[in-house]
Every structure is written in C-alpha cells, then in structure tokens.
Amino acid sequence: MKRRLGQHPDAALGAVLVAIGLALPLIVTSRHWHTTLINILLFLIVSVSLRFIYLSGQLSFAHGAFMGIGAYLAGMGSKWLHLPAAATFVLGAVGAMVLGIITGYPFSRLRALYYGMATVFLGLGIVLFISTGGVWTGGATGLSGIAGVFHGATRYYYFFLGLTTVSLLIMHRLEFSRIGTNFKAIAQSHLVAGSIGINERQCRIVAVAIGCFFAGLAGAGYAHYNQILSPKSFDLTATLWILMYVLIGGIGSFWGPIVGTIILLLIPEFFRKLGIYSPYVSGAVLLLVVYLLPQGLVGIPSLIRRLLAARESEALVIAGVPEAPLAAETVTDGKESDQ
C-alpha cells in the first residue's frame, strides 16, 4: 500500500530542515550570507532535478544549460516584454521543459555513455547559442536590467524557501510513487522493462521533461534575484559542479543532492581566506568521499553503524559467537555501491 505523504519516513527530516530554513534569517543577518543561502536554495532544486532525470538511467550533462534556458527566457521576458514575474517564472520553466522534450526525443535512442556525450554537446550548443544571441541575450557580455521581484534579501529568501520546498516535495512524491518505480525499473534493465510493457522512450522523456521544468524554474529565480546574467554561469563547468553536488552527496539517495549542495556551497564561504584556492578544499572532500564513502556523504550514518556493529561483533567473537551475519551485510553494501 502507498503511504500518505505525512507518514513517509523522510517527512520528519524534511520538516526539521524546513524549520531550520525558516529560522536561519533570524540568526544570520548579513546580506552576504543571505545571498549564499538563496544560492543554496536555488541549486537544491537544480541538483535534485538532475538526480531525478538520473533515476530513469540518464545522466545529463546539459542540466546547467537547461537552468540557463530558464534564466535567459525569464530574463528576456522581463527585460524586453516587461512580463510580470509570475509569467516569467512560467516562461522559464515551461520553456526549459519544452526544449527538454524536443531534444529528449532523439536522445532517448541513446544510452549510458552515448547519452552523456550527446548531452555534453547539447549543453555546449545552448551556451554558444546564448552567447551569440546579439542584443536579445546580451551576448558574451551578459544580460542586465532584469526586473527584481522583491525588496530586500529576506523576502527573496522566504520566497525561494517556499519554491524549493514545494519543488522538492513534488519530486519526492514522484520518485516514491509508481512513476519513480518505473523509472528505476528502466534504469536497471531496459530489456525487462520492455518485456513487461513499460514504454521506455515515453518514461525517459517524461523524466527529462520534469527535470528540465524544475531546472528552468530555478533558472528563472536565479535571473530575478541576480538581475544580471552571464552565459558563463551555465556552461559545462557549472553542470559539472551540479553533478559534483549530486555525486558527493550520494546519487543513490533522495537526500544525497541535498546534503551535497548544502555542503559544497558552504565550503567556499567557510574557507574564504583561501581565496581562489578554496576549490582545492572541495576537491579534497571529493577525494575523501571517493575513497571512504562510495555511497556519498549520505553513507556516513550507515558507515558509523557498520563500524559500531564491527566492534560489537569483535567483542562477540572473543566471547565465542560467530560473526557470520556481519559478513553477509558487508557484502551486500559493497554491491549496492557498485550500482
């Protein structure tokens, strides 16, 4: 039976995070920190939606570019057509979704590495298109003069907190419904999925459409908050950073991209003194995660549990009790991380 949303085991953790989010502006008051927090909120949507597409077995390297599509559509709608913010958000999100569907259709013939390669070039193409867009997109110098929505960073913050919460709730619900199950089925074996009647192409395009919708939505938020856009913010490097948030946090769990985004966006703030060398800290974290936590940062609790269990069973072995159950558990965990 399907659980109601309130009964899901993730509900309590989510509620705690939202409560912390609500309280944060009361604790940190500097404008600089507000910008960091808003950045985190927006990139939470982007990284969780990147993982959402990945659920169907597709690792997109154009996700940052789709965020750019949303940002530029919203920005241009605001600057040239003087659309109200409500309309530009819809324009950005739906525009990115439509482009996702149009490109997702031919790409859904490709799998694994070939899909990844195709999306690399799609992302490059989108950024090239934006930077050669002349006066419309502002070209390589960027697009400025986008209308703001609110006065004061606190209002922006609470608005984005709501937007992020709703977006993540929707993607969570999709993932843990039969829709997400079908995506995961395709990712595990498209042969078997086909044999039970799942339309692989349709499912994959739906996953891309939903993922791109949210990337575009976050992009629109980005445009209205910063009020100035540069194509460089959405290039391949940006996508790789988003991918890094997902991988370091843990691509196997819904919480992975959330943890990864928060930690990797806080690192440069805490290591501000290192200046341009602060990415080295992120790199060191990446290496540590790769060596110690194949499941990503979300694997820390289970690692601690395993270490505790190992100590306990050591004590039991000394007392003369065999340690078979532990060995079985460790093997299972190793296999899971391979997936």
Partner 1 sequence: MLLQTVGLCKRFGGLPAINELNMHVHKDEIVGLIGPNGAGKSTLFNLVTGVLMPTSGKIYYDGVDITKKSPYAVAKLGIGRTFQLNPLFGDFTVLENVKTSFYLHPHTSMIEIFFSTRRHRRNEAFIHEQALEILEVVGLQDVPNELAKNLPHGYQKMLGVARALATQPSMLLLDEPLGGMNPGEIDFSLKAIASMRAQGKTVLIVEHNMQVLDICDRVVVISFGEQISEGTPAEVRADKNVIATYLGGGKRC
Residues engaged in binding partner 1 (CB under 8 A): 1-2, 4, 173-174, 177-179, 181-182, 184-185, 188-189, 191-200, 206, 332, 335-336, 339
For residue 60 the two structure tokens come to 């997109």
Burial group, residue 258, by CB count within 10 angstroms (0-12, 13-18, 19+):
buried
Q: What is the distance between the alpha carbons of residues 266 and 189, in angstroms, rounded to a whole number?
A: 37
C-beta of 71 vs 210, nearer to partner 1: 210
C-beta of 1 vs 135, nearer to partner 1: 1
Question: Smallest distance, Å, CB 103 to partner 1?
Answer: 21
Instruction: Give the DSSP H/E element, type plus range, for residue 144.
Output: strand 143-144
C-beta of 76 vs 206, nearer to partner 1: 206
Question: Smallest distance, Å, CB 182 to partner 1?
Answer: 7
C-beta of 144 vs 177, nearer to partner 1: 177
C-beta of 197 vs 320, nearer to partner 1: 197
Q: Return the number of other C-beta atoms located less than 10 Å from residue 120's C-beta.
A: 16
CB 157 within 8 A of CB 42: no
Question: Smallest distance, Å, CB 184 to partner 1?
Answer: 7
Question: Smallest distance, Å, CB 183 to partner 1?
Answer: 11
Q: Where are the alpha helices (DSSP H) in 227-299?
A: 236-249, 256-270, 278-292
318 Cα distance to chain centroid: 46
Q: What is the distance between the alpha carbons of residues 146 and 207, in angstroms, rounded to a whole number?
A: 30
For residue 227 the two structure tokens come to 């009020």
**Residue where the block lists tokens 């990844």:** 116
Instruction: Give the DSSP H/E element, type plus range, for residue 27.
Output: helix 10-27
Question: Smallest distance, Å, CB 206 to partner 1?
Answer: 7
C-beta of 199 vs 330, nearer to partner 1: 199
Torsion angles phi and psi, residue 143, rounded to 5: -110, 120
**Residue where the block lists tokens 């953790």:** 13
C-beta of 144 vs 330, nearer to partner 1: 330
Question: Smallest distance, Å, CB 170 to partner 1?
Answer: 8
Question: Smallest distance, Å, CB 200 to partner 1?
Answer: 7
Rounded CA Rg of the chain: 21
C-beta of 1 vs 86, nearer to partner 1: 1
Question: Smallest distance, Å, CB 323 to partner 1?
Answer: 19
CB 236 within 8 A of CB 67: no
CB 203 within 8 A of CB 181: no
